[in-house]
Amino acid sequence: MPRPKERTPELRDHVLRTAVATLAAEGVAGFTARRVAEGAETSVPAVYELFGDKAGLVREVFFEGFRQLSRTFRDLAPTDDPRADIVRTVDAFRAFVRANPELAQVMFSRPFTDFDPGPNELRGSGSVREHIVGQVRRCLAAGVFAGDETDIAHVLLAMAQGLCLQETGGWLGTTRASRDRRWALALRATLDGLAP
């Protein structure tokens, strides 16, 4: 099949989907513009025309990760129990990272030396941040938490990221039961510590 020559929005979307799939299959070490181009059945120059360079491609993968996580959070219908909703949010975050460890690595660490998220990229994660802060705000309004909403949101996300890093690295336990128990312990201790 001949390689597409037109740089269309459809080709851009296809290359981005292929880039996310390549990252998942090859990991950070195997993620190259050439591999993405081959997987998308296009050329490396086409990838560069669409995204500028490898850093531009990684930047779009970064944004795509936050779009996917935001969709995951949007699927969580609020209940009358804001604390339970926080637990569901953390559980959804954990499930997302377990299903997409390489993508989460791009989103929450700095695995590529040629891409360092700056203020614009961090603003791109806004819908995820807004969801978490909104959940915290509900807990504050219900008297479940006491403190600053931004501080609490940072603490919850840092706790979840740290546990995810330990879990994906194989350091949180060798069985699902032990990993789940440690997640529950950390989350309960954190939420109890945020109570008034």
Domain contains 13: yes
- Give residue 121's domain range: 62-193
> What one-character-per-residue DSSP string does the chain give?
-PPP----HHHHHHHHHHHHHHHHHHTTTT--HHHHHHHHTS-HHHHHHHHSSHHHHHHHHHHHHHHHHHHHHHT----S-HHHHHHHHHHHHHHHHHH-HHHHHHHHS---TT----HHHHHHTHHHHHHHHHHHHHHHHTTS--S-HHHHHHHHHHHHHHHHHHHHTT-S-SSHHHHHHHHHHHHHHHHHHT--
The reported pTM is 0.89
Domain contains 39: yes
CB–CB of 80/130 below 8 Å? no
For residues 10 and 103, membership in a common domain is answered with no
**Predicted local confidence at residue 170, as pLDDT:** 94
Give the count of domains, the chain: 2
For residues 29 and 86, membership in a common domain is answered with no
Question: What is the CA angle 66-190-77, rounded to 5?
Answer: 45
For residues 154 and 84, membership in a common domain is answered with yes
**Predicted local confidence at residue 117, as pLDDT:** 79
For residues 36 and 89, membership in a common domain is answered with no
pLDDT in tens, the chain (196 residues): 555 456 788 999 999 999 999 999 999 999 999 999 999 999 999 999 999 999 999 999 999 999 999 999 999 999 999 999 999 999 999 999 999 999 999 998 888 887 877 777 777 677 888 999 999 999 999 999 999 999 999 999 999 999 999 999 999 999 999 999 999 999 999 999 999 9
**Predicted local confidence at residue 54, as pLDDT:** 92
**Predicted local confidence at residue 1, as pLDDT:** 55
Domain contains 1: no
**Predicted local confidence at residue 4, as pLDDT:** 45
For 129, phi then psi, to 5°, come to -60, -45
Domain contains 57: no
- CATH, residue 24: 1.10.10
For residues 108 and 77, membership in a common domain is answered with yes
For residues 112 and 138, membership in a common domain is answered with yes
Q: Examine the fold and report which residue of 30, 52, 74 is the final residue of a domain before the chain moves on.
A: 52
CB–CB of 67/23 below 8 Å? no
Domain contains 88: yes
Task: Show the tokens assigned to 114.
Answer: 């040629």
**Predicted local confidence at residue 150, as pLDDT:** 95
Tell me which residue of 60, 75, 69 sits closest to 98, measured CA to CA. Answer: 69
- CATH, residue 133: 1.10.357.10
Domain contains 38: yes
